[in-house]
Structure 1
Amino acid sequence: METSLARGLMSNEEWAFFERFILAARAPNGRKPADHRLVLDGIFWIARTGAPWRNLPEEFGKWSSVYRQFQRWTLVGLWGELMDALNQSAAVPDALQMIDSTVIRAHHQAAGAKRGTPRQGFGRSRGGFTTKVHLLVNAHGLPMRAEITPGQTSDHLGFDLLMADNLPRPSVLLADRGYDADSIRTKMEARNVLPVIPTRKSRKTRIAVDRSLYRLRNLLERCFNKLKNARRVATRYDKTAESFLGFIDITSIRHLST
């Protein structure tokens, strides 16, 4: 247990940043946890190891208490607020952004949530029972926003989910040929954004692509690789879309804050 506690805990600088958001998210009439920092470290431990909640080491507190706190913070949108704040504080130029998706295999125990599997972001693709994660990253390859859809969903829908009006508008957007659609190019041109997207083989009119600029998209692939080092992201164990997306955001937060 000493090894698991010593590895991956928050630094004092990280906690100083997180604390003000966590205190603001606490219900005014709710009972104050014994240690917010320990609870958050416990959530980070679950995300990194992929362990079931019941296997949470006792040093982090009672597993059911940590789980309930995770649910509260997820439902009030704490993780999204932290993502936005970290992106704003990083002062990374917004001129270049990248978008892509990856398919995550869902564990069979993740099925069975209320409202049906499609509403919870489950579907069927070549990988079987899957969820698709759509990700937008900045010029440094750091996550800006994530959304999930059923595994068979087109990247076009993920594009509409990610490119929200409240995010910084890029000057250049990099994407693979899965996003080569007239509707996407029209939307980007309307926003004065240059789409750097290779054309599909079926497109009659070829569109030139700056290959030296397009090579930067490997930063996005590296970002996916780092996020999947968290086992709770690499495999979906969560029944609800909110919980799984919460773990994606939590892993992104650690990536942004370290």
Structure 2
Amino acid sequence: MSRRFELTDEEWELIHPLLPPDTPQRGGRWRDHRQVLNGIIYRTRTGIPWRDLPERYGPWSTVHQRLLRWEADGTWARIEEHLIDTQDDTDLHAQIDSTVVRAHQHAAGARKGGAAPRTHEPPQHLGKSRGGLSTKIHTVCEGTGNPLATILTPGQGADTLQLPVLVGLVRVKRPGPGRPRTRLDSLAGDKAYSSTANRSILRSKGIGCTIPEREDQKANRRNRGSAGGRPPSFDRQAYRRRNRVERLMNRRKQFRALATRYDKLATSYRATVRIADILIRLRARPDKTTPQDPPNTP
């Protein structure tokens, strides 16, 4: 029987084949993968400091290092990709949005690597705005509300610049052989993504666009007269589905280590977001739903 927040036997059977071998290539043996993975999930869900991790999960340093190791070697990304590919039907009428996450004071001050500053220091995606230090999570999700692609930027990063990046990251396996599908059927977003450049990019890829025009853009188009062109088409019914991505952001923030950033390194925080998305997908699978009552028999 699994404890609170831990993987069930069915979830473990699905994930276990995607993890690295239990025995490393050179000497020794890994601490039990399931024990460590449950420790990572527990910390992601509760947001406690790593040093306060319950002893039943083993040394906290082992759990933390496993989190970083599996982010670096692509294990978390591989599990997430597998869950997307094995989904029965992926709804590619997608939505895009972002959310700002406040960074705790413990997230500041990542080590810069010795006395001499490095010229190519990796970005930690921490930005300073009126709300203080923050990180922004940008996401494209499918029509059912499950994430397809996610990136991090500093909290003051503009949403509109991230649309081409996110659309370019979408990869969905086709049924049968062939390259993965990279084109969405449609994309809905709020006014933050309204720009001529974004509409042109989506049009060139054959992606339907449901993005409301900003008031300043409407005024500029009217001031230009016939040279301003026609107003962009807008499907109100399709725009109503955009609440799916907002509900996804809300589900993510049930994980306390994601709702407030405590990690100094962007690599560690990105892994935390991946783990939350993996658990959201695992627990949204059809075999995880409550079975319906059988029909009444006469």
TM-score, normalization by structure 1? 0.92
- 1:92-241 aligned within 5 A: 92-115=89-112, 119-164=123-168, 167=171, 168-203=182-217, 204=221, 206-241=231-266
Shift of 1:69: 1.1
Q: Indicate the larger mover: 238-247 or 64-73.
A: 64-73
Give the whole-Å Cα distance in 1 for the aligned partners of 2:23 and 2:189: 39
CA RMSD of aligned residues (A): 2.1
Where is the helix percentage greater, Structure 1 or Structure 2? 1
Alpha-carbon distance change, 95 to 64 in structure 1, aligned in 2, over 3 angstroms: closer
Shift of 1:68: 1.4
Shift of 1:31: 3.4
Which amino acid is 1:162 matched to? L
Alpha-carbon distance change, 100 to 30 in structure 1, aligned in 2, over 3 angstroms: farther
Give the whole-Å Cα distance in 1 for the aligned partners of 2:256 and 2:237: 33
Give the whole-Å Cα distance in 2 for the aligned partners of 1:100 and 1:149: 13
Give the whole-Å Cα distance in 2 for the aligned partners of 1:125 and 1:92: 40
Say which of 245, 248, 251 aligns to 2:273: 248
Confirm whether residue 19 of structure 1 aligns to residue 16 of structure 2. yes
Task: Report if the CA contact (8 A) 2:22-2:30 is conserved.
Answer: no
What residue ranges of structure 2 are gaps of 5+ in the alignment? 172-181, 222-229, 284-298
3-state SS of the aligned residue for 1:163? helix
Task: Report if the CA contact (8 A) 1:92-1:139 is conserved.
Answer: no
Which amino acid is 1:193 matched to? I
Shift of 1:160: 2.9
CA deviations over 1:145-196 (Å, ceiling 9, x no partner): 2110011111123223312255232110011110001111111111100111
Which amino acid is 2:239 matched to? Y
Segments of 4+ moved more than 3 angstroms: 24-27, 114-118
Shift of 1:232: 0.5
Give the whole-Å Cα distance in 2 for the aligned partners of 1:86 and 1:38: 21
Give the whole-Å Cα distance in 2 for the aligned partners of 1:27 and 1:135: 34
Q: Indicate the larger mover: 47-56 or 126-135.
A: 126-135
Alpha-carbon distance change, 78 to 25 in structure 1, aligned in 2, over 3 angstroms: farther
What residue ranges of structure 1 are gaps of 5+ in the alignment? none
Q: Indicate the larger mover: 161-170 or 217-226.
A: 161-170
TM-score, normalization by structure 2? 0.80
Task: Report if the CA contact (8 A) 1:83-1:144 is conserved.
Answer: no
Give the whole-Å Cα distance in 1 for the aligned partners of 2:249 and 2:125: 19
Give the number of equivalent residue pairs. 255
Identity of aligned residues (%): 36
Shift of 1:222: 0.6
Task: Report if the CA contact (8 A) 2:148-2:170 is conserved.
Answer: no
CA deviations over 1:94-128 (Å, ceiling 9, x no partner): 43111111110001111111459981001122322
